[in-house]
Chain A
C-alpha cells in the first residue's frame, strides 16, 4: 500500500523505534523566540546540559517587541528579550534581535531565509509552527519542556498522528482568498476536527495558491485542532525557494529537487479521514464568536444560538455573542469596527500587504489601522514597492516588524469593548487585549473594513 506525504516525512526522521514506545524523531530545524525559551535554557543549565545542534537552531525576537522605534518600555518584556540575548550568546545560537535586518516573526523568517524546506521536521515553542508545513514538511508547536528536549537532544519522542486529507475541489472565486478558505474549513470541521491528526491540504484550489497563501492555510491548522498541516511541494514551492540564502545551490539543488518531487502522497495511499470542501462555493469569511470555528460568510448574519443542535455549542454561542456584544440576526456587514490590524504569521507577508495596499490606494481609512509587516525584510520589500506610502496616504500606521496585536504582548492592544477586524489567527476572549473583541478576516476584508468602519468585502466598496 502506498504512503501519505506525512508518513513519508515521518518515517524519514525516525531515529529509534521500539515496541510500546513513541518514535524518537529527529528535528531538522528548531526555531526559538523570547517567550517560550527562557525556562528551557534554565533547565539545561540546571542539568549541566548543552545545546546539541546550535547550527540547526535559530532565534528571533518577535512576541514582545514594540512596533514603533525605540527601546522596550515594559521592564518585564525587556528582561525577557535580554534573557534571550544572553541565552543565545551563551549557547552559540544565531539570533536576529530587534533592529536587525533579518528580525521578524519566527514563522516569517524561516521560509524567507530558505531554512524551511520540503521534507523537513521543524518545531518551535509556538503553535503556529504549522505554517512551515506549506513546504511539505512536518512542522508543529511544542511546549517549553519539549523546547528543552530538542535543545538537549535535537529529537522528540512522539507518536505519529493519524492522517487527514482535506480535499479542496474547484477553484476559489475571484476575491476569495487563502484566509477565507481556511476560515471556512475551520468552521466546517470545528476547533476539534483536527485533533490527533496531521492534515494534508490537497486539490486544485490548493495547488493554485501561492506559497504565501499556502502558509496562511497551514498556519491555521492548529485552530482546527491539528498540530500540523502540510501541502505537497511542487514547482511553486521550488520557485519560491530557489536562490534563497539557505536553499541548496548548484548540484545540491538538483539532488534536493529530485528528492522533493518524491514527497507526495501515493495514489493508493489511504488517509484515516477525508474531508471535502468545494472552493467554488466560498465567499469572504469572517468570525463572529470567540473561537476560530465560530465563523460565517460575511454576506450572512450573526447566527442565533438556537441554530445549534448541540447543547454545548449552543451555550458556547450564547456566551460568545454576549462577550462579542452582538445580536443574533444582525447582518455581519453592519457590524461596526474601530480597529483594523493587518499583520501576524498568518497574514504578515508581502503578498498580504500588497493585497491590503491595492484596496487602500487612493482611499482613506476611518478606523485606527495598524499595518505591521511580518519581518524587517518584508518591511524593506514593501517600502521598495512604495506600499508604505500607500498606507500612510490612506491614514494607516506603518509599523516595525513583530507579532504585535495578534496577541497584544507588546503595547499594540485593544481596550475593553474595542472591536477589531484582524488578519491574525485567534479571536479568543481578550486575545488582543482584555475585553477586546476580534473578528478574523483576510487582508482584503481588513482593508475594506478600514475604509468603511464596518465589516466589508472589497467588492462592496464604492
Chain B
C-alpha cells in the first residue's frame, strides 16, 4: 500500500447523499478478476449524464472527493475503492461513511476523512466557486486546510500509523502467528470444519 502522509490537491464537490457502492462501481464491473482497470467504471451510470460533475472539464485532475453524508454504503465491494484510486482520488471527505467502505479504504491507502456536514458544505462551496482551489489533507496533523482555514479530523492512532507507513496488515498479523496457534489449540471442540 502506498504511504499517505499529506496530500494537497483540487477537489470535486459531489452534492449527493447515500452514494452507495453500486453507484461508485456498478456490479457489471465486478466480473473482472484483475485489480486494475476500474477507473472507467467509476460512477459509470452517472457519468453518462453530461452534466454530472465528473464530466466538467474544470474538475479534471482533482484528487479529493467532497461527498454528501453516507458515502460508500451498501455492498462490501472493494472495487469501489480501487475505482476511486485508479481514477486519481487520494481522499474522500464526507460527514459519514459506510463502515465496510471506510475499512476497505484504509486497507488500500485511500483516506476517508470524516468532517461535520457544515464543513463539508463549506469545502464544496469553495470548490464550486473556484475549481482550481487546493485543499490540503494532512494525516500527520489530522487536519484539513483550505487557505487560512483549518479543521481537525479524528482517526485512530493505529490506522493513522499504518497509513503513514504504508504497512501491509497481513505482514503485521503474521508477526503474531504464535498467538494464533495458541488460540487455535484452545478452540471449542465442537466447532465445525468444512471438511
Contact = CB atoms under 8 A, between A and B. Distances in A.
Interface of A: 15-16, 20-22, 24, 26, 28-29, 35-36, 38-39, 42, 47, 49, 52, 54-58, 63-64, 74, 76-77, 79-80, 83, 93-94, 114-115, 117, 120, 125-127, 129, 140-146, 148-149, 152-155, 157, 159, 161, 191-192, 195-196, 222-223, 225-227, 246-248, 252-253, 255-256, 259, 290-291, 312-313, 315-316, 319, 407-409, 426, 428-431, 434
Interface stretch (B75-83, B85-93, B131-139): B75-83
B41 interface: no
Interface in B91-115: 96-100, 103-104, 107-108
A57 B20 contact: no
11 contacts: A15-B179, A29-B192, A35-B77, A39-B35, A83-B33, A125-B76, A127-B74, A149-B170, A195-B96, A223-B74, A428-B23
A141 B18 contact: no
A146 B103 contact: yes
A56 B194 contact: yes
Given A55-B195, A252-B190, A428-B23, A143 B77 contact: yes
Contacts of A192: 69-70, 73, 96
B148 interface: no
A142 B173 CA distance: 17
Interface string B29-51: 01111110000000001000000
Contacts of B184: 26, 154
Contacts of B28: 408-409
B104 A145 contact: yes
B141 interface: no
B22 A39 contact: no
A88 to B, nearest CB: 11
A145 B69 contact: no
Interface residues of B, number: 61
B33 A39 contact: yes
B30 A24 contact: no
Contacts of A64: 31
B179 A195 contact: no
B147 interface: no
Given A409-B31, A431-B22, A246 B192 contact: yes
Nearest to B33: A38
B129 interface: no
A175 to B, nearest CB: 29
Interface centre among A15, A125, A248, A408 (most CB of B within 10 A): A15
Nearest to A289: B18
Contact of A429 (B22, B69, B188, B191): B22
Given A39-B34, A192-B69, A248-B192, 13 more contacts: A26-B184, A26-B187, A74-B31, A76-B32, A80-B33, A126-B75, A141-B100, A142-B100, A143-B100, A157-B173, A192-B73, A195-B98, A316-B16
A428 B180 contact: no
Contacts of A248: 190, 192
B156 interface: yes
Contact of B75 (A57, A127, A140, A226): A127
Contacts of B98: 195, 225
Contacts, number: 203
B191 A143 contact: no
Interface of B: 15-18, 20, 22-23, 26-28, 30-35, 45, 68-70, 73-79, 81, 96-100, 103-104, 107-108, 117, 156-158, 169-170, 172-174, 176-177, 179-180, 183-184, 187-195
Contact of B191 (A22, A77, A120): A120
A316 B18 contact: yes
Contacts of A36: 30, 76-78
A369 to B, nearest CB: 22
Contacts of A56: 193-194
B132 to A, nearest CB: 27
A20 B158 contact: yes
B37 to A, nearest CB: 12
Nearest to A92: B195
B186 to A, nearest CB: 10
Contacts of B187: 26, 28
Interface centre among B15, B17, B32 (most CB of A within 10 A): B17
A184 to B, nearest CB: 19
B177 to A, nearest CB: 8
A117 B77 CA distance: 26
Nearest to B102: A195
Q: Which 5 A-B pairs have the closest CB atoms?
A: A143-B78, A143-B104, A145-B107, A248-B190, A141-B76
Contacts of B27: 407-409, 431
A143 B103 contact: yes
Contacts of A77: 31
Contact of A117 (B20, B70, B170, B192): B192
B77 A291 contact: no
B173 A153 contact: yes
Given A20-B158, A74-B31, A429 B23 contact: yes
Given A79-B33, A429-B23, A115 B69 contact: no
